[in-house]
Structure 1
Amino acid sequence: MFASVIRHSRGVISAALLLAACGGRPSEAIITGEIGGMAAGAPVVRMDSTEKLAAPDAAAMAVDPAAASAQFADRLVTYNASITLVVDDPAASMQKAAAIAAEFGGFVVSSNIYQVPPDMPQPRTPFEDSRAQPSKVSGVMQANLTMRVPAERRVQATERLRQLALDVRGESLSGQDITQEFSDLSARLRNLEAAETRLMAIMEGAATTIDVLAVYRELVTIREQLEIIRGQKQYLEQSAKMSLISVELLPSAGAQPVDVDTWQPLLVLKQSLAALLNGLQGLVNWVIYILIAVLPLVLLVVVPAWLLVRRWRRNRTAAAK
């Protein structure tokens, strides 16, 4: 008998888990006895095809502004703002932005200060070795900051951030309605909690160890899902309560470093010696090349030609006599 109860309970739990997985809400219309806005016990009036429908009541069709405002106020919306500021000192402005986040009841999620690499390397000097790496100028310092502030104080915090800047280079705001996702999670949570309660009742009536272990395994699975859903709901609630603001801090033209190369006489001396040795090495290479590769070819062509010309001149002289 207890085994049949277990099988029946598993069927109930499987149905509850299926509802939770689909994310559907419990059918309030069936629970309250209403279907399609009509009471279950209300009589159904049949109409002839010749009868005409009465005109709808204007008062019934009117939308209550207070109800619409209340419905809009209950929605969960997350806001993500981004702003790019030009400041004198990015590092100091980053500290001030962190203080603004704390002032408005928020906190800093991440912050970073870094040096932007130069776009192009500097040209080599005339005495610089071609195999050496080209010299580069030091880049400018930039910073970025990500903070969260209460959603109702986001506008004031953004305005305070603008006051830190010499110029506002760009600004953007995006929002996402998460009401439906939050409602689905709530429905799944209620179904899983009901299944957990049912399993606890079954465990109390279990008579054998096998039955207890079977119910316990189901409880572990459901409780894992409960913790996951509760964490997701908490994250959505916090995201809606605390807006995210990303701040990019760029240095002004006056704050950028002046690119002045330092004088390094020892480096110039080394580069000059390297250039001299490279020149002597090239000269010696040319001499060796001429002696080994060019001179034998010249001798093979010039010496026979010279001998032929000399013999021809001797024959001409002998014939003239």
Structure 2
Amino acid sequence: MRIYVIILAGIFLIGCQETDPTDQVGESSYDAPEQQTHKKENANWENGQNNVIHEERKVMYHGNVTMSVHNVEQSMKTITSYAKDYDGYITESSRMTTDQQLYANIRVKIPNNHLQSFLHELDGISKDIVRQQIRGQDVTEEYFDLSSRLKAKRTVEERLLTFMKEADKTEDLLSISRELAHVQEEIEQLEGRKRLLENQIDFAELFIELKESSTSLEVSQENLKTPQKIKNAFIQSINVIAKILSLFVIVVIGFSPILLCLATVIFLCWIGYKRKTHQRRKKDS
């Protein structure tokens, strides 16, 4: 019985070895390299995670700075100039006035290797730094994960392109084309995410808030009020003259009968006085 079992096992093994491997490859033969690549992708990812500590750390920096300045407009121009000097750029800026106080917000992107120098320049703009906060986010694992997945997807793309050239059946060609389009779409998404991550890694983002100091505000408001005071004084003087003229016209017209009578009496008295004076002069002569 044992001999019979051993003979059957030997025949089965020989039959398996003589089976043509191409007989097992059908319409889905193009999937085999992709499955192998996925296995390799997982292996590469695990190896990449183990070797992350040996690679350069990938850190994104974000910061918030609040400053009190004497001149908001001039400070905005100075910060924009410093950003250009350090190969950075402005992504957002705004100004507003609240309770007669001027505020401005600026969002700046500065290369990481110039971040400390740029912060030092801000100290020169204002000695009154109300708040300064810089925080970093380690994205090393995410970055190398994206790189590994992107490399694996490109390998799959190359394999699928090779299968497309070798495909004989229309059905296989259509299946490969659909899979290739799906893989290429994933590659574009991964590349876009990687480019965004690289930009965030290479450039630190600073949100700078400027507010005008109270001393500067008082002087500025006083300067703004001086022309207004002159205008108000001129208008008031015109109003006084107009009131006087109006009162004079009212008195003259309103009391004209009385004034006419008084004028007549005064005129008659004056004529009588003149006659008496003339007669006295004649008698004396």
TM-score range, shorter chain: 0.5 to 0.7
Q: Which moved more, 1:5-14 or 1:157-166?
A: 5-14
In the alignment, does 2:105 pair up with 1:144? yes
Identity of aligned residues (%): 22
Q: Which residue of 2 aligns with 1:186?
A: 147
Partner of 1:83: 65
Flag structure 2 segments of 5+ consecutive residues without an equivalent.
1-21, 236-285
- 2:31 matches 1:10: yes
Give the direction of change, closer, same or farther, for the CA distance of 1:13–1:6 in structure 2 (3 Å limit).
farther
Which residue does 2:191 correspond to in 1?
230
RMSD over aligned Cα, in angstroms? 3.4
Partner of 1:103: 85
Q: Which runs of 5+ in 1 are unaligned?
A: 30-35, 37-69, 119-138, 266-321
Find the structure with the greater CA-based Rg.
2
Alignment partners' CA distance in 2, 1:19 and 1:101: 44
2:132 counterpart residue number: 171
CA contact (8 A) 2:28 2:172 kept: no
Contact 1:19 1:188 in 2 (8 A): no
Q: Partners in 2 of 1:89 and 1:2 — Cα distance?
A: 82
Distance 2:217 2:186 in 1: 54
Partners of 1:154 and 1:243 within 8 A in 2 = yes
1:159 aligns with 2:120: yes
Counterpart selection for 1:25 from 26, 29, 44: 44
Cα shift readout 1:228-251 (whole Å, capped 9, x = no counterpart): 111111122221111111111011
> Residue in 2 aligned with 1:94?
76
Structure ranking higher in helix proportion: 2
Q: In the alignment, which of 240, 245, 248 is matched to residue 201 of structure 2?
A: 240
- Which deviations, in whole Å up to 9, do the C-alpha atoms of 1:56-110 show, x marking residues without a partner? xxxxxxxxxxxxxx95771111111221110012122111101110011111111
Label 1:209 to 1:12 Cα distance change in 2 as closer, same or farther (>3 A).
Answer: same
* Structure 1 residue 150 displacement after superposition: 1.1
Q: Which amino acid aligns with 2:135?
A: S
Q: Distance in 2 between matches of 1:240 and 1:176?
A: 9
Q: Distance in 1 between matches of 2:104 and 2:131?
A: 15
Using the TM superposition, give the Cα deviation of residue 165 of structure 1 relative to its aligned residue in structure 2, in angstroms. 1.2
**Using a 3 Å threshold, how does the CA distance of structure 1 residues 104 and 28 change in structure 2: closer, same or farther?**
closer
CA drift of 1:206 comes to 1.2
Q: Give, in angstroms, the shift of residue 18 of structure 1.
A: 7.8
| CA offset digits 1:5-49 (Å, max 9, x no partner) | 5413225425645876xx7635659xxxxxx9xxxxxxxxxxxxx
Superposition pairs for residues 299-318 of structure 1, below 5 Å?
A: none
SS in 2 for 1:8: coil
Contact 1:25 1:184 survives alignment (8 Å): no
Counterpart CA distance in 1 for 2:63 and 2:53 is 25
Closer/same/farther in 2, CA of residues 99 and 170 from structure 1, 3 Å limit: same
* C-alpha spacing 1:246/1:140, structure 2 compared with 1 (3 Å): same
Q: CA deviation at 1:140?
A: 1.5
| Contact 2:70–2:213 (Cα < 8 Å) also in 1 | yes
Name the CA distance, whole Å, in 2 between partners of 1:73 and 1:250: 42
- Number of residue-to-residue matches in the alignment: 205
- For residues 174 and 236 of structure 1, the distance between their equivalents in structure 2, rounded to whole angstroms, comes to 16
Partner of 2:167: helix, strand, or coil?
Answer: coil
1:214 paired to 2:175: yes
Aligned to 2:165: 204
- TM-score norm. by structure 1 comes to 0.56
Say whether 1:256 aligns with 2:277.
Answer: no
Change (3 A) 1:153 1:27: closer
Q: 1:24 to 1:151 in 2, by over 3 A?
A: farther
| Alignment deviations for residues 272-301 of structure 1 (CA, whole Å, 9 cap, x no partner) | xxxxxxxxxxxxxxxxxxxxxxxxxxxxxx
The secondary structure found in structure 2 opposite 1:207 is: coil
**TM-score normalised by L of structure 2:** 0.63
